[in-house]
Structure 1
Amino acid sequence: MSASTATSKNSGPVLDWAAGHGPVTGALSATTGMFAVAATGAATSMPPAWALAVGTAGAIGHTAAGLRWRNTGRTLATRAASWLVGAGWTTWAVAHGPLSWAALGSLATIGVAIGTATRAANLHEEAREEETLHAERQAIAAELSAERRAIAAEWIDRVQRVCGVTLARVMAVEMWKTGTGFTVDAELPAGGTTYDRIAKEGPRLAADARLPHGCTVAAGPGVDQGRVLIDVTTVNVLSKEVPYPTDYSPLSLHTGIPWGVRTNGESALVFLREQCGLLVGPTGSGKTNMLHTILAGFARATDVLTWVIDLNAGSSGLPWVRPAIDPDGKLISEVKPGIDWLASTYEEARLMLETALAIGSHRKIAYQDLMATANTDLLPITPQIPQILLVIDEGAEILVSNDKEMRELAQLILKVIRLLRSMGIRTVLTALGATGSVLGNLLIRREAKTRVALTGGETEGMDLSKLFPGSRGLRVTQAPYKGSGFLGTPETPVALFKAWRILPSQIREIVTATSNRHPALDKVSGHAAGDAYAQRWNPDRTAWMRQALTNTVAEPAPSVPATGPAKSSLNLSALRPTGPDEEDADALAAELMRQIDQRFGTTTEPEAVGQPSDEQAPGLNLSAFRGNEDSSGPAWLADAIEAIKAAGAAGMKPKAVADLVGRSRQAVRDALKDAAERGELVYRDNGPHSAYIHPEHA
């Protein structure tokens, strides 16, 4: 402790010379001033009338100031009287001397009187100020209460007119803090009426209330089954782009991860400790942006490890890895990736899912004592034992794929969902549409209870009744904007929401801000994961990331002579000049095929039946071999389109078209898909009954 500090603590009370006077100090200051003026005036033979003149001027000045400050009459009288009495005593003391007992006694009496009168005036001022504030609050409350009573009466009448339900009474009307709407808390009538009677008439109620487009009326359960909460949105918050918050503070799996904002301005929180997630959104609805928003929330969580499977070149996970990998494909020591593992191939995805199953199985055995101590059958998730969340882009499509490798991945995904809930391993799947083929799996419907539908105004393949069974009044037209849609969780009913817009620059900021926050896989789980997990960032396994991040091509394509301007193309063997080595390899392959035919015999390939026997090399349907195609597709496509047009509204399946034109199904699917993108055909997605139809019959 310094000497100055010690001195200040031992020097007695500290006086605040800037503070105003109270009743005691004010009276003391007044009486000492009066005595000083009187003593000085008596010693210097000052005319006594001067003191009276100064006191009168002070009384007039304080009265004028008090009127400006709107003081009460009691305060004005007290201050004026204090000045006049003080001036009178000073005038008498200057004339007769201030040192007599009569002078000193009367001065003390005046000081006590001034202090008492000042204290009484101050109390009166405070009481009057409290009364004024109370009156203002009462006026505001009365005005607000009148507005709420009007809203209550209006909605009682509207519900009766539209739904045929007479509300017993409105308990409260809560105005949202965001100013975008209000909630009516009402008591349902006797006789077993439920809130569903009102919920299913939401669109009609919104129309009756003449709400702007994008505003809805949603009814949900109240505090008990005899109450209903009617949420009325009066401002369309879905049409505007809402940027991702710049607050990158820590989150926890137990307190909820925000996925966007609801129409009342509150964050849409999801709780994924036991639940899986399902995100549905067609092309152009903002699904990829929403996926990055989900990954941002997981990156901010201190008790979550995120594993991502994206078989589309890992595009959804690369932005979260890019800031942490150098051009050599090695991790930067100062920055950790925003996700813990990224798989872009079938082999890596299979390895990731098998590792998750191994971790879950080992956790069940190794953490028995911990769960017994905590008296729970769920593994306690903490930053020391983090939850693993597998985000699988277009994972719902993997589950319904007929491809052999995809079926193997599908079985592993379903096994993870079915077996590892209690051990803290959950999934978030995405899908392009809410169709029966996607939602046909009972396990997905049962476990993925946190569901999001980004509609973007798209009606094809967006059956909201299948995605949110039991919820009525949901229409795609209620959320026609990009990034808008519906979100439902076990904790909150299905309602409109808006996904945040997250920019690539924010992804980099979040990766950097949360780098020291990511938990490490616990030792028990790491032992079960083995080298498959420990070597996940090995340069050999991340070589594809290095190529993607540096935008380089391993082997540039040789130039091909052409009459027109040069253009970039694939490095195809069909376009390479044949050298001696290639001729030797072709001779060896021909000899091998001759021996195979001689030993086992030959058969005609089914796909070749009915195809033209031109001098085309077998293999992929490459543009290098096409001589009868142009920008509008192969030559047989015109006949296929005419056949589809003749089929009418029923359309034709790709298999039927393939049989008609004598081409492989894959070639037919690619050509029909390109035609649909050009608007020549319309694809009707209906699961196993999907077909292509002509625009005239769409």
Structure 2
Amino acid sequence: MADTRQRARRTEAAPSDVVIFGPTVRTTLAVAATAAAGDMFGLPAYWASGAALVGGIGTALADVREGASPAALVYRFSCWCGSGAWLTYALLDTPWKLNTWAALGVGALTAAVLSRIPARDGERIRAATTSSALVLGSNARLAQEWEARIMRVVHMRVRIEEVQRWSNGAGYSLLVDLPSGGATRDRLASAESNLASDAKLRNGCGVEVTKGPNRGSAWMHVSTINLLGEILDYPAEYAPRSILEPVYLGGYRNGAPASVPLRELAGLITGQRGSGKTSLLHALTAGVGLCTDTVVLHIDLNGGGMSQPWLDAWLEGEVDRPPLGWAASNMDEALLLSETMLAIVKDRKRSTRRIKKQANASLLPVSAALPYYLIMVDESAEAMSPTSNDPRVAKLRANLEEIQRIGRNEAVNVIFSGLRATADVVSPNVKKQSGFRVGMFVQDEEELSYLFGWNKGISLDDLDGAGCGFVQFDKDRPRPFKAAFLQPLQIGEISTTISARRTDFDPRAIAVARALTGDAFDTRFDRMRADFADPEDDDDLDLLPLPAPSAPGQLPQSPLAQAGGFPLAWENPNSIAAQATAPKQVALSAGGGEVPEVIAAALAVLDGLGDDRIHSADLAIALGTTMDKLAAALRPFGVTTLPNKFVRNGKDRRGYDRADLTAAAERHRNRGGQEAVLVGAASPTTPPSDSPTPPLGESPTPPTSPGGP
């Protein structure tokens, strides 16, 4: 290992040696060639003396103007004088003597050794990656250009101490040493747009100034290739993570990830329609939802568009529970959610005292057993507008602002988002309490100034359309970034992953919620399904095939179609359900027992469709119930959805098979009409003979053994 490090150090040192001795060798050869040519053509010796004097004085003046150190002035002037003296001597006598060439060699060697003294302070460039002398030389020239540019634009004589080329090839970073006399980083940052214009950077490229190693220095990040105009896909890596880790949002121009530490920071996101704000909210939902110690809650009073893609897999029966702990798409539900979470925050201030003491921590330790809760509020104009006269809006705003104000320690936080960064959409209290702010693309730069503060040097020229924005953490300067983009299918993949392993409300929070809301907390998923599921008279109807036409080229008219419910002539699924569920018990065979109502109804629907399989959503619609209630009614008889999805009417979903329903009916008949399959039981047991068959939509009462419940 030590040998490897030594070889690496020798390899890294080689380019520097080439850089040091290369110019010395070239200069020596040039002086020798001049002496040979002068001797051949009889050039007078005073020309050599005069040229060396003029060159030395000119170089000294240029170095003084560029801020050269005294050592650099002495070194360069000495080189000119030494070269001129040797050339004058060679022309006075003859260069074709051994001692003359030996003197030149000694002088060249001396100059090479002393060349480690920098020609001027700004050439002390330590490139991050130097593979050849050419790279180091280009870094030095780049540093000189930017020193001159900053002097010209900002009137500050700075030194560029380091150049780092970005690994993605889209730009470079400069470590700037600010001059003495009180020059500040903010003064340099306020001229970002002016510096980018002076450098003639491409559209979408710019200059960013961030903190340096100390307050007398700064990093300048210069982008030369516009990467903000490209689509940045969300990483297809869904490993478990913690809310204590930064959450991925997207990427900066230099290829570094833009991540936000959300354990303590409340957030505020603004952006006009089409700016990519929704994509950023999806990235946040994914990043936080994949944390195994976090529960995500949504409030979206503009139709629930933020939540809908995340609930699709659950609504279609692909997962048993939603990836979101709660989602509110109307004012009543939002008020209930906010009041519940506020009560949980206040309770945690008292009930977690011993937990924090035992952990010796001022912040509440979070885990899967004691999770972090993140409330994401979309379209804040509907939920948070300070100018609204609706008392319910005022109550919701007060609840959420109080949670934002007091919930940091107790691991309950809020992220607000809205279309505009103006006082009528975002209250000053929300803005002040938001340590994490994002301003997506807008038409009016004044909105960004309201969001981030004035005199920040922010320019819309640094952005390049949808998905681009500025992000700020605490008091750091806003930086341009690109939000990661999630395709709908990827949202489905991540939502399925979150549903399988996310944590849930902790027992203490559940007790507080039940004490406040009664049954409303436990039935929130039923309301979510009702609010977010497709309407029964719209999209879900096309899952069922059309009935046979009553005449060639003519479709039968159902009662709903005749009443104007919908234009085409699908048969009303409720009519199918009414016909299928008319008998309470249906004979399976001539000598057999009776079939449970729910099994008979499902088989009747399959008979009517002439198919052996049916999607869960289709069967639930046909029976006039919900998928949750249908699953609860079929589970006691050993009937569950197939493990794999199948295609019907162009849609790939999970559902039920006729063979499973028929087998359940046979088992029921063989037991004389008494079903004995218990949910979660390792083996069937026979319930009491008077156990009633549960009605559709209700869970059966588990039988009791002779030894008690």
Residue in 2 that maps onto 1:489: 473
Distance in 1 between residues matched to 2:9 and 2:222, nearest whole Å: 37
TM-score (norm 2): 0.57
Checking the alignment, whether the CA contact within 8 Å between 1:355 and 1:533 is kept in structure 2 is no
Distance in 2 between residues matched to 1:228 and 1:433, nearest whole Å: 32
Distance in 2 between residues matched to 1:132 and 1:417, nearest whole Å: 55
Deviation at 1:141, TM superposition (A): 4.5
- Structure 2 residue corresponding to 1:377, chosen from 359, 362, 375: 362
Classify the secondary structure of the residue corresponding to 1:547: coil
Deviation at 1:295, TM superposition (A): 0.8
The verdict on how the C-alpha distance between 1:256 and 1:248 changes in structure 2, with shifts beyond 3 A counting, is same
Deviations 1:56-99 (A, max 9, x none): xxxxxxxxxxxxxxxxxxxxxxxxxxxxxxxxxxxxxxxxxxxx
Residue in 1 that maps onto 2:324: 339
Residue in 2 that maps onto 1:408: 395
| Letter paired with 2:512 | A
The verdict on how the C-alpha distance between 1:128 and 1:432 changes in structure 2, with shifts beyond 3 A counting, is closer
Deviations 1:379-413 (A, max 9, x none): 11223211100001112542223323222211211
| Letter paired with 1:443 | N
Deviation at 1:287, TM superposition (A): 1.6
Distance in 2 between residues matched to 1:237 and 1:150, nearest whole Å: 25
- Answering whether residue 234 of structure 2 is matched by residue 250 of structure 1, we say no
Checking the alignment, whether the CA contact within 8 Å between 2:15 and 2:133 is kept in structure 1 is no
Residue in 2 that maps onto 1:144: 135
Deviation at 1:249, TM superposition (A): 2.2
| Letter paired with 1:365 | R
Deviation at 1:225, TM superposition (A): 1.0
The verdict on how the C-alpha distance between 1:311 and 1:151 changes in structure 2, with shifts beyond 3 A counting, is same
Deviation at 1:507, TM superposition (A): 0.4
Residue in 2 that maps onto 1:447: 433
Distance in 2 between residues matched to 1:507 and 1:129, nearest whole Å: 45
Classify the secondary structure of the residue corresponding to 1:463: helix
- Answering whether residue 285 of structure 2 is matched by residue 285 of structure 1, we say no
The verdict on how the C-alpha distance between 1:176 and 1:312 changes in structure 2, with shifts beyond 3 A counting, is same
Equivalent residues in 2 for 1:17-416, closer than 5 Å: 135=14, 140-167=131-158, 169-326=159-316, 332-333=319-320, 336-400=321-385, 401-416=388-403
- Answering whether residue 479 of structure 2 is matched by residue 479 of structure 1, we say no
The verdict on how the C-alpha distance between 1:326 and 1:464 changes in structure 2, with shifts beyond 3 A counting, is closer
The verdict on how the C-alpha distance between 1:491 and 1:461 changes in structure 2, with shifts beyond 3 A counting, is closer
| Letter paired with 1:346 | M
Equivalent residues in 2 for 1:562-581, closer than 5 Å: none
- Structure 2 residue corresponding to 1:514, chosen from 479, 498, 503: 498
Residue segments in structure 1 that go unaligned for 5+ positions in a row: 1-126, 569-698
Classify the secondary structure of the residue corresponding to 1:171: strand
Checking the alignment, whether the CA contact within 8 Å between 1:251 and 1:257 is kept in structure 2 is no
Checking the alignment, whether the CA contact within 8 Å between 1:303 and 1:381 is kept in structure 2 is yes
| Letter paired with 1:514 | I
The verdict on how the C-alpha distance between 1:449 and 1:546 changes in structure 2, with shifts beyond 3 A counting, is same
Deviations 1:202-222 (A, max 9, x none): 111111111111001112221
Distance in 1 between residues matched to 2:444 and 2:294, nearest whole Å: 35
Checking the alignment, whether the CA contact within 8 Å between 2:301 and 2:382 is kept in structure 1 is no
| Letter paired with 1:275 | L
Classify the secondary structure of the residue corresponding to 2:222: strand
Deviations 1:621-648 (A, max 9, x none): xxxxxxxxxxxxxxxxxxxxxxxxxxxx
Deviation at 1:313, TM superposition (A): 2.4
Deviations 1:469-517 (A, max 9, x none): 1552212232141111111112743110011121100001112233333
The verdict on how the C-alpha distance between 1:138 and 1:537 changes in structure 2, with shifts beyond 3 A counting, is farther
| Letter paired with 2:144 | A
Classify the secondary structure of the residue corresponding to 2:416: strand
| Letter paired with 1:487 | V
Distance in 2 between residues matched to 1:242 and 1:538, nearest whole Å: 34
Residue segments in structure 2 that go unaligned for 5+ positions in a row: 1-5, 19-130, 543-558, 570-709
Checking the alignment, whether the CA contact within 8 Å between 2:249 and 2:259 is kept in structure 1 is yes
Larger radius of gyration: 1
Deviation at 1:135, TM superposition (A): 4.4
Q: CA RMSD for the aligned pairs?
A: 3.0
Checking the alignment, whether the CA contact within 8 Å between 2:250 and 2:257 is kept in structure 1 is yes
The verdict on how the C-alpha distance between 1:296 and 1:129 changes in structure 2, with shifts beyond 3 A counting, is closer
Residue in 2 that maps onto 1:574: none
Deviation at 1:428, TM superposition (A): 0.8
Checking the alignment, whether the CA contact within 8 Å between 1:399 and 1:407 is kept in structure 2 is yes
The verdict on how the C-alpha distance between 1:388 and 1:560 changes in structure 2, with shifts beyond 3 A counting, is closer
The verdict on how the C-alpha distance between 1:301 and 1:491 changes in structure 2, with shifts beyond 3 A counting, is farther
Residue in 2 that maps onto 1:582: none
Residue in 2 that maps onto 1:542: 529
Deviation at 1:290, TM superposition (A): 1.8
Distance in 2 between residues matched to 1:528 and 1:402, nearest whole Å: 31
Deviation at 1:161, TM superposition (A): 0.5
Checking the alignment, whether the CA contact within 8 Å between 1:435 and 1:461 is kept in structure 2 is no
Checking the alignment, whether the CA contact within 8 Å between 1:381 and 1:387 is kept in structure 2 is yes
Deviations 1:122-160 (A, max 9, x none): xxxxx9999889747966353322121111111111100
Deviation at 1:348, TM superposition (A): 1.0
Deviations 1:544-576 (A, max 9, x none): 333359735899575569xxx9899xxxxxxxx
Deviations 1:630-678 (A, max 9, x none): xxxxxxxxxxxxxxxxxxxxxxxxxxxxxxxxxxxxxxxxxxxxxxxxx
| Letter paired with 1:344 | S
The verdict on how the C-alpha distance between 1:493 and 1:396 changes in structure 2, with shifts beyond 3 A counting, is farther
Distance in 2 between residues matched to 1:128 and 1:472, nearest whole Å: 47
Distance in 2 between residues matched to 1:367 and 1:128, nearest whole Å: 56
| Letter paired with 1:494 | P
- Answering whether residue 416 of structure 2 is matched by residue 429 of structure 1, we say yes
Checking the alignment, whether the CA contact within 8 Å between 1:341 and 1:536 is kept in structure 2 is no
Classify the secondary structure of the residue corresponding to 1:314: coil
Residue in 2 that maps onto 1:524: 508
Checking the alignment, whether the CA contact within 8 Å between 1:214 and 1:479 is kept in structure 2 is yes
Classify the secondary structure of the residue corresponding to 1:184: strand
- Answering whether residue 425 of structure 2 is matched by residue 438 of structure 1, we say yes
Deviations 1:303-337 (A, max 9, x none): 2110001112222112111112346xxx843xx42
The verdict on how the C-alpha distance between 1:165 and 1:350 changes in structure 2, with shifts beyond 3 A counting, is same
Distance in 2 between residues matched to 1:461 and 1:132, nearest whole Å: 50
Classify the secondary structure of the residue corresponding to 1:514: helix
| Letter paired with 1:535 | D
Checking the alignment, whether the CA contact within 8 Å between 1:176 and 1:182 is kept in structure 2 is yes
Deviation at 1:522, TM superposition (A): 1.9
Deviations 1:414-460 (A, max 9, x none): 12112222111111111111123234x332122112111111xx314
Q: Paired residues, what number?
A: 430
| Letter paired with 2:296 | T
Classify the secondary structure of the residue corresponding to 1:520: coil
Checking the alignment, whether the CA contact within 8 Å between 1:301 and 1:518 is kept in structure 2 is yes
